[in-house]
């Protein structure tokens, strides 16, 4: 790893970590990113509860540049690696009084991988969106084919023009900024959306990278027959998807807004 005038470049890796101050280095020494750091990511590979085994590798990539509290940055496409903690396929029992065995898939993200450098993480899930909702949020939308003004619709919240520099809430207040590097805003306290986790999401004091998610996004989006009984928000860093209708499958292209939490 070579030092180029205040930048550390990791050979063979596109991600560039800017160390304008010592916060990131201190975070690595402590073994964690600063609390409440948000990571908007996309899952690279599908994870199927019918085929997965404990310990299987799970990989996601950051969807946009991530700015840390001290001004350091993680590039878009930075790798996040984790593993399968538990996998149980759905089992249907045709007996009239049988209690169907639910399918469960539990995942824990372990580290940000920068090639020669890794940063340990302990992340909870603020929001998780299926591939359809994720794809829709990434593409300009129109009311119909004749609409000359396309708009972007953040998952769990606001709409804005791609040309706007700010994102405004429904009452007109600015909730995020739209920049060349992506969408940034302070996380807002909100209740869970259809997840079953029941803890809700807290607010952040600093601006975070949110990408296609609204700052108030919290819970599951686009998942019809799944719940998320555990989101890792109590400090475990492990989230669980559950279905009583079919075997859980987390498809490649699923997106998540993850948040650094304190391990308990």
- Tokens 């993680």 sit on residue: 74
Q: How many whole angstroms separate alpha carbon 112 and alpha carbon 213?
A: 21
Check if the beta carbon of residue 43 is closer than 8 Å to that of residue 254. yes
Check if the beta carbon of residue 220 is closer than 8 Å to that of residue 195. yes
Reduce the DSSP state of residue 19 to 3 states and report it: coil
Backbone angles phi, psi at 4, to 5 degrees: -120, 85
Check if the beta carbon of residue 155 is closer than 8 Å to that of residue 127. yes
- Tokens 């996601």 sit on residue: 60
Mean pLDDT of the chain: 85
User: In sequence order, which ranges of the chain are alpha helices (DSSP H)?
Assistant: 23-30, 131-138
| pLDDT of amino acid 150 | 87
Task: Return the structure tokens found at 184.
Answer: 């940034």
| pLDDT of amino acid 34 | 87
Of 264, 147, 257, 152, which Cα lies nearest the Cα of 210?
Answer: 257
Where residue 167 falls among pLDDT bands split at 50, 70, 90? very high
Say whether pLDDT at 45 is over 90.
Answer: yes
Where residue 32 falls among pLDDT bands split at 50, 70, 90? low
* DSSP element (H, E) containing 110: strand 103-113
Of 43, 34, 78, which Cα lies nearest the Cα of 208?
Answer: 34
| pLDDT of amino acid 4 | 34
Going from the C-alpha of 22 to that of each of 6, 28, 229, 246, the distances in angstroms are 11, 10, 37, 48
Q: How many whole angstroms separate alpha carbon 252 and alpha carbon 257?
A: 15
Domain boundaries, the chain: 2-260
């Amino acid at each position: 790893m070579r030092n180029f005038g205040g930048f550390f470049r990791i050979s063979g890796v596109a991600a560039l970590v800017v160390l304008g101050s010592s916060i990131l280095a201190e975070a690595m020494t402590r073994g964690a990113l600063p609390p409440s750091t948000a990571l908007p990511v996309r899952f690279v590979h599908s994870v199927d509860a019918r085929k997965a085994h404990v310990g299987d590798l799970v990989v996601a990539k950051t969807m946009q540049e991530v700015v840390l509290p001290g001004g350091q940055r993680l590039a878009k496409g930075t790798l996040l690696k984790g593993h399968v903690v538990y996998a149980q396929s759905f089992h249907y029992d045709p007996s009239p009084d049988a209690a169907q065995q639910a399918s469960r898939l539990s995942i824990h993200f372990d580290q940000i991988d920068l090639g020669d450098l890794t940063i340990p993480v302990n992340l909870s899930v603020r929001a998780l969106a299926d591939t359809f909702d994720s794809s829709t949020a990434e593409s300009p939308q129109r009311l119909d084919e004749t609409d000359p003004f396309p708009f972007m619709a953040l998952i769990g919240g606001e709409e804005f023009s791609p040309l706007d520099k700010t994102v405004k809430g429904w009452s007109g207040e600015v909730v995020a900024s739209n920049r060349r590097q992506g969408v940034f805003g302070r996380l807002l306290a909100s209740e869970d959306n259809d997840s079953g986790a029941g803890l809700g999401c807290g607010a952040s004091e600093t601006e975070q990278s949110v990408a296609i998610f609204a700052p108030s996004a919290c819970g599951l989006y686009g998942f019809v027959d799944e719940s998320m009984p555990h989101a890792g928000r109590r400090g475990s860093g492990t989230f669980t998807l559950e279905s009583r209708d079919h075997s859980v499958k987390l498809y490649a292209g699923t997106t998540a807004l993850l948040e650094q939490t304190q391990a308990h």
